[in-house]
């Protein structure tokens, strides 16, 4: 108990940092941080605490869990979604949360701490913050679907192109005959039509159809660059040996492989168009599938928060159609 009193006394009567108090009292910095948070939130004054009995003093600082359990808990999935909007801060969201009933609301420090715990609990691949309409990740899948050539009866393996928007995870996929530049460009045009717009940045891996020279001083394929700039976008390839750069699209590719390619294994197609028709149906189902740990789906999040942030018109043609 003497240690607790000493920590609180230094918190309330000195300008020492949490680290300095922790060192002086032989406790962890997080312990000091916790007691400082309680003292600040409750507006304690050291002179008013000195006359309290040990059990009363201890209840004030170690009964915070019970007090917090009576507080109104915010919907952190909604808070997390709102925070992705440009200009929206945690302070603003906390103030809006308090408007409903300030007496039952968490303090700002507990609000932010609980929010951070929530963020750490949701999907690890979403740790990078992506703003709505900012990035569109594109790549080809390693696993290839196929169709049967009606004339020869041979199996024709094709490439599976995948695009995913960074914020909503809204996903597009289609099959193409090759990874050649014409097919690469055609897949992008189909993808832009599917999304109904174009993001600010296109983020491809370093395949030849996208990047003529990889590395720090990369050079984007001129045709691909023309395509991007035609739609008002820029190309920023992933950096070699930086797996976090392409984590988003790699996860999307894995999901498409499991959700789409696996479902095609027992189906027979006799043309590329028939194959793409079925891929389109499976992608539609994937985008409408509810998230496991946050509210909504890829489609609902895209339509409510990201679609409006995409560039809908060609540059130099205000009001013109994208396709």
Average pLDDT of the residues in 87-98: 84
Average pLDDT of the residues in 61-66: 61
pLDDT at 173 over 90: yes
Higher-pLDDT residue of 286 and 77 is: 286
What does pTM read for this prediction? 0.58
Q: Pick the range with the lowest mean pLDDT from 7-16, 71-80, 191-200, 282-291.
A: 71-80
pLDDT in tens, 106-130: 888 888 888 887 777 654 444 456 7
pLDDT at 33 over 80: yes
Higher-pLDDT residue of 47 and 65 is: 47
From the list 282, 291, 280, the residue with the least C-alpha distance to 258 is 282
Average pLDDT of the residues in 211-221: 79
Helix, strand, coil percentages, rounded to 5, for the chain:
50, 15, 35
Q: What's the Cα-to-Cα distance from 72 to each of 97, 255, 295, rounded to whole Å?
A: 10, 37, 19
Q: Cβ neighbours of residue 32 under 8 Å, at least 6 residues apart?
A: 7, 11, 18, 21, 22, 25
Residue pair 157/144 in contact (Cβ under 8 Å)? The answer is yes
Residue 319 CA to residue 322 CA, distance in Å, equals 9
pLDDT at 68: 46
pLDDT at 299 over 70: yes
pLDDT at 263: 83
pLDDT band at 319 (very low <50, low <70, confident <90, very high): very low
pLDDT at 67 over 80: no
Could you tell me the fold of the domain covering 135-309? Nucleotidyltransferase; domain 5 (3.30.420)
Q: Where are the domains of the chain?
A: 2-68, 72-121, 135-309
Please state, as a whole number, how many other Cβ atoms lie within 10 Å of the Cβ of residue 294. 17
Residue pair 173/161 in contact (Cβ under 8 Å)? The answer is yes
From the list 219, 218, 231, 217, the residue with the least C-alpha distance to 185 is 231
Side-chain half-sphere CA neighbours of 28 within 13 A = 3
């Amino acid at each position: 108990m003497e240690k607790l009193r000493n920590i609180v006394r230094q918190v309330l009567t000195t300008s020492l940092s949490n680290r300095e108090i922790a060192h002086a009292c032989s406790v962890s910095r997080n312990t000091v941080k916790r007691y400082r948070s309680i003292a600040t939130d409750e507006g304690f004054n050291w002179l008013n605490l000195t006359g309290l009995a040990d059990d009363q003093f201890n209840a004030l600082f170690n009964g915070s869990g019970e007090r917090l359990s009576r507080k109104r808990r915010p919907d952190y999935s909604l808070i997390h979604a709102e925070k992705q909007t440009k200009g929206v801060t945690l302070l603003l969201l906390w103030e809006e949360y308090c408007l409903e009933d300030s007496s039952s609301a968490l303090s700002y420090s507990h609000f932010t701490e609980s929010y951070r715990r929530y963020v750490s609990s949701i999907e690890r691949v979403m740790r990078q913050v992506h703003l709505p309409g900012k990035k569109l990740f594109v790549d080809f899948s390693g696993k290839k679907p196929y169709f049967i050539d009606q004339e020869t009866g041979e199996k024709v393996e094709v490439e599976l192109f995948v695009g995913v928007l960074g914020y909503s995870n809204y996903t597009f996929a289609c099959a193409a005959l090759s990874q050649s530049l014409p097919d690469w460009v055609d897949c992008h045009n189909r993808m832009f039509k599917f999304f109904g717009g174009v993001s600010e940045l296109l983020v491809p891996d370093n395949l030849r159809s996208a990047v003529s020279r990889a590395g720090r001083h990369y050079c984007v394929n001129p045709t691909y660059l023309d395509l991007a700039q035609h739609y008002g976008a820029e190309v920023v390839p992933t950096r070699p040996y930086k797996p976090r750069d392409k984590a988003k699209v790699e996860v999307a590719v894995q999901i498409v492989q499991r959700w789409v390619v696996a479902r095609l294994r027992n189906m027979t197609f006799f043309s590329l168009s028939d194959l793409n028709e079925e891929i389109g149906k499976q992608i539609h189902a994937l985008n409408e599938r509810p998230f496991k740990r946050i509210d909504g789906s890829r489609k609902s999040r895209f339509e409510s928060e990201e679609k409006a942030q995409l560039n809908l018109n060609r540059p130099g043609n205000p009001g013109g159609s994208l396709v």
